[in-house]
Amino acid sequence: AQSVTQLGSHVSVSEGALVLLRCNYSSSVPPYLFWYVQYPNQGLQLLLKYTSAATLVKGINGFEAEFKKSETSFHLTKPSAHMSDAAEYFCAVSQTGANNLFFGTGTRLTVIP
Amino acid sequence: DTAVSQTPKYLVTQMGNDKSIKCEQNLGHDTMYWYKQDSKKFLKIMFSYNNKELIINETVPNRFSPKSPDKAHLNLHINSLELGDSAVYFCASSQELSNSPLHFGNGTRLTVT
């Protein structure tokens, strides 16, 4: 069985501050892990993905995530928040492929000027 | 050039009606999907389909049916619409590889009155 938990449905940060969005997964085998971003009235876009090549994964728009097997976590970070980062962020886990992808409940990021 | 396009963007209809949402992808992907996003932003897969098989989420009512005229299209037909069907429906596609990410359309906001 696989699942993903995103801690905090809403995170607020000041512009220029560190962004940390938390994701913990449950998987019986080494998983594939993804972060997606959803801007208002749009579909989801891939930010980054973990496929076991490297534990620290760099994505688009300055985001990165670190896979920590011992903590079953895949937290998303960005050193300095920008106003344009305000969006909904989804963590997702898969064991066998995209047709078996489980999404977390999402975290809404608000950036305060 | 939109990679995954779906129409219409907004759909308002009355209970009991039958409606369709169209989806097309020009990425050459093998597999297409329909997701439902509820008012709390929770994403649930409804169907995944490639030229080999249709996988149906068993929780989806049989009033919902996917139709694929060819590899690049996966339309969603909904019969006897109910109030609870109101949601945003996303089409997506991917390669048939275990770590391939999903590419999403911009969604169709369905409102049933």
pLDDT tens, residue order, chain B (113 aa): 669 999 999 999 999 999 999 999 999 998 999 999 999 889 989 988 887 788 878 789 999 999 988 889 999 999 999 999 999 999 999 987 667 889 999 999 999 99
**Residue B76: per-residue pLDDT:** 96
Tokens of A77: 């970070």
Helix (H, G, I), strand (E, B) or coil at B108: strand
**B48–chain A nearest CA distance, Å:** 6
Q: What letter represents residue A7's amino acid?
A: L
**Beta strands, E only, chain A:** 3-5, 10-14, 19-21, 24-26, 32-38, 44-50, 56-58, 64-68, 73-78, 87-94, 101-103, 107-112
Whether residue B8 has a cis bond before it, omega within 30° of 0: yes
The CA distance from B85 to B78, in Å, is 9
Measured in whole angstroms, the distance separating CA B69 from the mean position of its chain's CA atoms is 14
**Residue A97: per-residue pLDDT:** 67
Contacts of A90 in chain B (CB under 8 A): 43
Average pLDDT, chain A: 91
The CA distance from B104 to A38, in Å, is 10
Q: Per-residue pLDDT for A38 more than 70? A: yes
Helix (H, G, I), strand (E, B) or coil at B61: coil
**B102–chain A nearest CA distance, Å:** 7
**Residue A31 pLDDT grade (very low, low, confident, very high; cuts 50, 70, 90):** confident
**A41–chain B nearest CA distance, Å:** 7
**Residue A111: per-residue pLDDT:** 97
DSSP structure string for A65-85: EEEEGGGTEEEEEESS--GGG
Q: What is the mean pLDDT of residues A11-17?
A: 97
Q: What is the mean pLDDT of residues A29-56?
A: 89
The CA distance from A1 to B1, in Å, is 38
Residues 13-32 of B with CB under 8 A from A: 31
Q: Is A32 within 8 Å of B98 when comparing Cβ atoms?
A: yes
Which chain B residue is nearest to residue A95, measuring alpha carbons?
B98
**Residue A11: per-residue pLDDT:** 97
- The predicted-structure confidence for A51-99, as pLDDT tens digits, reads as follows 877 889 999 999 999 999 999 999 999 999 999 999 999 999 987 766 6
* Structure-model confidence comparison of residues A107 and B41, the more confident one: A107
Contacts of B52 in chain A (CB under 8 A): none
Q: What percent of chain A has pLDDT over 70?
A: 96
Q: What letter represents residue B39's amino acid?
A: S
**Residue A27 pLDDT grade (very low, low, confident, very high; cuts 50, 70, 90):** confident
DSSP classification of residue A97 = -
